[in-house]
Amino acid sequence: MNSFAAIGPRMRYVVVALISVGLVGVALVLQHTVGLVPCPLCIFQRIAYLAVALFATVAAWREPRVSGQFFGFLALACAIAGAGIAGRHVWLEMNPQGLSCGPGLQTMLENFPLTEVFPKVFRGGGDCSETSWTLLGLTIADWSLIWFAILTVVLAATLLARRFRPLIAR
């Protein structure tokens, strides 16, 4: 029996939730101690991590058969959405548009309707394409994309493990 199958789905959901909250904690530490100001895409990635954590926690708490799988699927959907946001962020860093720093997310939310804010955020501003911090040669957006990919794989494997349990036990 492999080690992944040895860990129950509830524990996997708990680990996913703890990792997600931990990553938001790291982002807050970088913001408040290092002084890195998050761009709008960073904010949306934090929201995606928190949504993954929330749904994974509920999935761990609920009965795994029906409602646990539903909340696990919601966690997976949020992880995929977060990967999309992080992927866009990585693309903007690799292909800077030469834009000046745009207004922050709070300013946009206060002055524009949501129908205008979301396209502006995903278009990215100058602050989304700047690389201000790296670890092992990777930017924060790169690391975020890697973590969203890991969470997506773990959540998908958790949801599919139940369906393919007879094949795994062989």
Residue 20 and residue 150: Cα distance in Å, rounded? Answer: 11
Question: What pLDDT score does 147 carry?
Answer: 92
Residue 143 and residue 126: Cα distance in Å, rounded? Answer: 20
Tally the domains of the chain.
Answer: 1
Q: What is the CATH number of the domain that holds 156?
A: 1.20.1550.10
Question: What pLDDT score does 17 carry?
Answer: 94
How long is the chain? 170
Residue 135, strand partner residues: 138
Contact 44, 85 (CB under 8 A): yes
- Whole-prediction pTM value? 0.74
Question: Beta strands of 27-109 (E only): which ranges?
Answer: none
Span 127-151, pLDDT tens digits: 665 667 655 877 888 889 999 999 9
Q: Show the tokens assigned to 109.
A: 């939310």
Question: What pLDDT score does 167 carry?
Answer: 43
Question: What pLDDT score does 24 carry?
Answer: 93
Whole domain around residue 156: which residue ranges?
A: 3-169
Stretches where the chain sits below pLDDT 50 are 1, 100-101, 124-126, 166-170
Residue 24 and residue 166: Cα distance in Å, rounded? Answer: 37
- Percent over 90 (pLDDT), the chain: 26
Amino acid, single-letter form, for residue 9: P
Using CA atoms of 37, 122, 47, 20 in order, give the dihedral in degrees to the nearest 10: -80
Residue 12 and residue 16: Cα distance in Å, rounded? Answer: 6
Residue partners of 85: CB distance under 8 A and separation at least 6: 41, 44, 45, 48, 122
Max intra-chain CA distance, the chain: 59
